[in-house]
Structure 1
Amino acid sequence: MNSWAKPLLIFEVTLFAAASLVHSGVLLGGYYAHTRAAAAEGLIAAVLVCGIFACLLQPEWTRSVALVVQSFALFATLVGAFTIAIGIGPQTTADRVFHLLLLLVLISGFVAAFRWNSR
């Protein structure tokens, strides 16, 4: 696995898992509870974890796997940002800022994977 890929994917898993725990009410005492967001974030975290395992099992697939799992996470995060924008997703400032952070991290990771050459 490339030196940047594992820490980046682990960081992304951590972000989505934490968001899922917040939205499920486990963290912060249910203040930001939103079960649909929790389910989506948990699914995204699970897909990213599968990507980490795939990269560990087949290091030569790292670039492709990183592109695929981050594309999925980016698309799902854009859907979440859209639901916030139209008023059916979580409406807190924290959610807006967190989605912006997620988008920045995912876009950066996607660009890094896209530009990476495994020579």
Structure 2
Amino acid sequence: MTSRSTLLTFLTVEILLFAGASLIHAGIPIAGSEHVQAMTAEGVIAAVLTLGLAIGGLRPAAARTTALAVQGFALLGTLVGVFTIAVGVGPQTPADKAFHGVLLVLLVAGLVAAWRARRA
């Protein structure tokens, strides 16, 4: 797998996770999990990652820089979510806490992959 395809794969997985979390916080697959602020934040992050995936797919020379930028944005948003959980604001379920942990690991791994990718 090339470094560009690795970056695009990271972005795709991240998009699916953030979009799924946004749907869950909209109460679509699981009623009772509604949280408007979390839904909105995760939806915005999914949209930004989708834009990054499109740019990286259409402009191979920009894939590395774009992946760094959009994953950095997603990491910042995820850290805000972790902070809100830590101070007792927003969803406090064990699943939410575990999900944020998975996101942190995935985003850091994606950023490392983007940082190490060959400059196109």
TM above 0.5: yes
How far the C-alpha of 1:18 sits from its partner, in A, is: 0.3
Task: Name structure 2 gaps, 5 residues minimum.
Answer: none
> How many aligned positions are there?
118
C-alpha distance in 2, partners of 1:60/1:117? 10
Q: Are the equivalent residues in 1 in contact too, given 2:35–2:91 (CA < 8 A)? A: yes
Structure 1 vs Structure 2: percent identity of aligned residues?
Answer: 48
How far the C-alpha of 1:9 sits from its partner, in A, is: 0.5
Is 1:19 aligned to 2:24, yes or no? Answer: no
Alignment TM-score, normalising by the size of structure 2: 0.94
Q: CA RMSD in A?
A: 1.2
How far the C-alpha of 1:118 sits from its partner, in A, is: 3.2
Task: Name structure 1 gaps, 5 residues minimum.
Answer: none
C-alpha distance in 2, partners of 1:57/1:67? 16
How far the C-alpha of 1:8 sits from its partner, in A, is: 1.1
C-alpha distance in 1, partners of 2:16/2:38? 16
Equivalent residues in 2 for 1:103-118 (5 A)?
103-118=104-119
C-alpha distance in 1, partners of 2:97/2:33? 12
**In structure 2, what residue type is equivalent to 1:82?**
F
Structure scoring higher RCO (CA < 8 A, sep ≥ 6) equals: 2
C-alpha distance in 1, partners of 2:96/2:104? 12
Residue number in structure 1 paired with 2:56: 55
C-alpha distance in 2, partners of 1:75/1:39? 15
Alignment TM-score, normalising by the size of structure 1: 0.95
How far the C-alpha of 1:6 sits from its partner, in A, is: 1.4
Equivalent residues in 2 for 1:67-106 (5 A)?
67-106=68-107
